[in-house]
Chain A
C-alpha cells in the first residue's frame, strides 16, 4: 500500500518491517516522531528514556540479548550518547542496532548546527543517509543488515527536510529475524583494556570491509548525464541538485556516507570534466576527495551555513534567479512566543521584574529570553542551567547569592539537571534552582517523561516525585508554587533567594496545550476602566494588544489564565462569562 509519510514515520515503518523489538529514545526535534510512530506498532516495545545515553544503552542491552533494537535522537542528543557509541563500535552487536540521528541545518529548533557525520568518522561506524521517505524506510532496514553483517552499530542520519518532509512510501510486511541465543562472551562485551586492545584491530579491519562494501553498494549510485559536470551529493542535497539540473549532469548519490568509497569516487571523477561536491554543513565528502587525490569544488562555492535548497544551489552555479514580487512596506517579524496562558510566563515576569540573573536551559522556556520579558542570561545545552549556576556562584564568591537562579523544565531536569543539582548540594553553593514543571516534555510536542506518571503509550507508569527527588539529591529547601499566582510566586522567589543555602522552587502548572487542561473563557478589558498604562503588556502575552489606545484581549487566543488581571491596577481586566 502506498502512503504519504513524513521521513520519521517512514523510519518507524522501516523499524517495524525490519522486525525491531525494542526502541528507546529521548525526544528532540526533528527526530521525535520516529519513536512516536514506532510506538503505534504493538509489536515493538517503545519507551521514552530520561536521556539519549540511557536510550542508546537500552538499545545496546536489547542487542546483547539477541534482538534488533534502535534508538533515535537529534544531533545534540548524540553528544549525550557519544560515550556508549564509541565503545559500542568496539563491542559490536548481537542483534542489529540502529542509531537514528537527525541534524537540523538552518536551526529550525536547535541550539547549534553540528554535523553528526563527524561522529560516524570518529567512532568508526557506518552511517547511511536517505534522501526521501521511501529511502528512510529502506535504509533503516538495510542498516540492520549492515549492523549484523559487519558486527557494528549503524547510524542513520536524516536532516529536517528529510525527517519532516512527506513523500510516498510503499509498505511491506514485518519480518522478525530469528533471535540469537544469549551467550556469555567477555572478549567481545567486557571492554576492559585487555579485551578492548584486541577489539580495536577488529574495528580497523571492519572499516576496510565497509569501504569495500561502499565501492559496490547499490545505495552509492551513479546517474550519468553527460561528462561535463559531475556532482557528488547525498540526502536532501541530492533532491536539490536534481531539481536544478534534472538529468543534465552526472550525479554520484551517496546513500552510505561513512565510510566513503575510494575507487568509486576516483572512477566517477575520471568520467567527468568538472567535479563538484554538494553537501550541507561541513565539507566532509570534499575532504575525503582531497585525501584520496581527487580534485573537486566544494566549500569555496557552497556555504557551510544553514540549509541548502534548489535556489541556493542554482545561485552558486550562477544560474539566473526566478522572478518574484515583494511588497515595499516592511512586514514585521513574527518570532515564536510563549503561548497564551503558558505557565512559564508568570515565573518569568517575576524574575524579570526583580532583575534576577537567570541561567536558562533547553525547552519552550528559552522563549522567555524574548522581549518584553528578556528574562534569560544564558542557554547552552540540556542541564547546563543547574551546573552553570553553581560555577557562576563559586566564581562570584558570594556576590551572586540572592541575585541569580537557574530555570529548567521537568523533562530537562530528569535528562541532565539532576546531576548538576547533586553537585550544588555536594559542593555547597547558595544556589536556587527553579524547576518549571509543566508536567510534559513541551517543545518537542508533548512527550511523557518520568515525572508525568504516564509512559509513551499513555498508560499509567511510575511517577517520579520531584520534591522527594530533590530532597534525596541533598536539597533541604524544596517548595512548590503555582506560577499563575504572581504574589505567591514572587514571595517564594524572594524568600528562597534570601536564604544562605541551596534551594529548589518547583513552579508547577501543566502546559496549557495539554488536552486535559480545560481553557477558561477569554478575559475581557473594560474599555472605560482601562487607562492605557500598558502594565499588562509587560507579560508579552500574544492575546493582549492595544486597540484604539486601549488594551484588548483576542478571544480566539486567550485561555483565561488570569495572570494579566493581577497586574491591572484599575480592575479593567475581567473574567469572561462561562
Chain B
C-alpha cells in the first residue's frame, strides 16, 4: 500500500493558490488516487498568509498536513516558504517563487524582511528549488499565472505524463485562459532544465 503523500501550497491571499490546488486535485483524481484537499476561505484570504493542504494515496484520512509530513511545499512568496518549512519531511522539496511581498509589519517598519532565509534553510540541508515565477508568468502573458508556473515546476517531480497535466489544466481553467496557462505551465516545467 502506498503511503499517503502530502503537498502544501503556501502563498499570500489573492495569489491564486485555490486554482493551483484545483489543478493538482484534478490530475490526481484522474490518476485514480484517493485524495483530500483542505483549504481555508474567508478572512485569511484578504492579503494574509494562506495555506492549502493536498494529500493523496491509496486511502487518505486526514485532510491536513502537519509538522514533518509534507513531501513538497509550493510557495508563492519567498518567506511563506520559510514560514511553513516545518511542515516538510526529511528529504522533502520546497519549490518557491522568489517574489517578495512585504507583510504589514514590514511595511510599517516593526519587523524586518528576512532576505537570506532561503539560504539559511539550504544551509540546513533543505532542498529548495527557487525560481522567479513572476517573470515567467509575465512572459506567459499575465503575472496572475504564477500559480501555474510553479505547478509546472512541481510536475517535473511526478511520474505523470505531461499531456495528462495539460488535460487536467484544460479541465480546470476557463477556456479563454487555457492558452496563457499552458504557456505558463510549460515555462515552469522547462525551468532548470
Contact = CB atoms under 8 A, between A and B. Distances in A.
Contact of A168 (B34, B38, B63): B34
A166 B43 contact: no
Interface residues of B, number: 64
Interface residues of A, number: 63
A578 interface: no
B106 A339 contact: no
A270 interface: no
Contacts of A239: 61-63
B104 A240 contact: no
Interface in A422-466: 443-445
A164 B37 CA distance: 8
B98 interface: no
A291 interface: no
A333 B48 CA distance: 9
B190 interface: no
A573 to B, nearest CB: 16
A332 B29 contact: no
B193 interface: no
A311 B83 contact: no
B109 A321 contact: no
Contacts of B63: 161, 165-167, 236, 239
A339 B104 CA distance: 12
B174 interface: no
A208 interface: no
B126 to A, nearest CB: 6
A542 B100 CA distance: 12
A560 to B, nearest CB: 16
B5 interface: no
Interface stretch (A75-83, A171-179, A366-374): A366-374
A370 B41 contact: no
Interface in A356-370: 364, 366-367, 370
Nearest to B144: A556
Contact of B36 (A167, A329, A330, A339): A167
A326 interface: yes
A32 B108 CA distance: 34
Contacts, number: 195
Given A30-B41, A323-B89, A331-B117, A243 B61 contact: yes
A327 B121 contact: yes
A480 interface: no
A326 B124 CA distance: 9
A164 B60 CA distance: 16
B102 interface: yes
B125 to A, nearest CB: 7
Contacts of B87: 324
Contact of B47 (A32, A330, A542): A542
B121 A371 contact: no
A332 B85 contact: no
B46 interface: yes
B64 interface: yes
B27 to A, nearest CB: 11
A108 B44 contact: yes
Interface string B115-126: 011001100111
Interface string A314-344: 0000000111111111111111111100000
Report whether over half of chain A's contact residues are helix, strand or loop; otherwise say mixed.
loop
Contacts of B141: none
Interface string B79-97: 1101101111110000000
A200 interface: no
Contact of A338 (B26, B39, B46, B60): B46
B191 interface: no
B82 A542 contact: no
A2 B25 CA distance: 13
B101 interface: yes
B38 A165 contact: yes
B104 A542 contact: yes
A29 to B, nearest CB: 4
A243 B111 CA distance: 38
A118 interface: no
Contacts of A164: 38-41
Contacts of B121: 325, 327
Contacts of A324: 67-68, 85-88
B108 A372 contact: yes
Given A165-B37, A325-B121, A333 B103 contact: yes
Interface of A: 2-4, 6, 29-30, 32-33, 108-109, 132, 160-161, 164-168, 236, 239-240, 242-243, 309-311, 321-339, 364, 366-367, 370-372, 443-445, 537, 540, 542, 544-546, 554, 556-557
Given A239-B61, A334-B83, A337-B48, 13 more contacts: A4-B29, A29-B43, A30-B41, A109-B41, A240-B61, A243-B61, A325-B88, A329-B120, A333-B49, A337-B104, A540-B107, A542-B47, A542-B101
Interface of B: 12-14, 25-26, 29, 34-49, 60-64, 66-69, 79-80, 82-83, 85-90, 101-114, 116-117, 120-121, 124-126, 134, 143
